[in-house]
Amino acid sequence: MKVDGSCHCGSVTYKAEIDPDHVVICHCTDCQTFSSAPYRVSVFGVPSESIRLEGKPKTYAKIGGSGKRVLVAFCGDCGTALYSTKSETDGPFNLRVGAIKQRSQLVPKAQGFCGSGMPWAMNIDDIHKIPEPDSP
Rg, C-alpha atoms of the chain: 15
CA-CA distance, 117 to 112, in Å (whole number)?
A: 9
Q: Which of residues 116 and 89 earns the better pLDDT score?
A: 116
**In 3D, which of 99, 86, 87 has the Cα closest to residue 40?**
99
Question: How many CB atoms within 10 Å of residue 25?
Answer: 20
Residue % of the chain over a pLDDT of 90: 89
Do 95 and 42 touch, CB atoms closer than 8 A? yes
Domain spanning 2-118, CATH architecture: Beta Complex (2.170)
The CA-based angle 65-94-52, given to 5 degrees, is: 145
Residue 96 pLDDT > 70, yes or no?
yes
Per-chain mean pLDDT for the chain: 94
Question: How many other β-carbons are positioned within 10 Å of the β-carbon of residue 16?
Answer: 20
Tell me the mean pLDDT in the region 105-125.
95
Per residue in 53-81, pLDDT (tens digit) is: 999 999 999 998 788 899 999 999 999 99
In the chain, domain spans = 2-118
Instruction: Assess whether pLDDT exceeds 90 at residue 38.
Output: yes
Q: How confident is the model at residue 136 (pLDDT cuts 50, 70, 90)?
A: low
Q: What is the pTM of this model?
A: 0.91
pLDDT value of position 88: 80
Distance CA 6, CA 89 (A): 19
DSSP 66: T
Segment 98-120 shows an average pLDDT of: 97
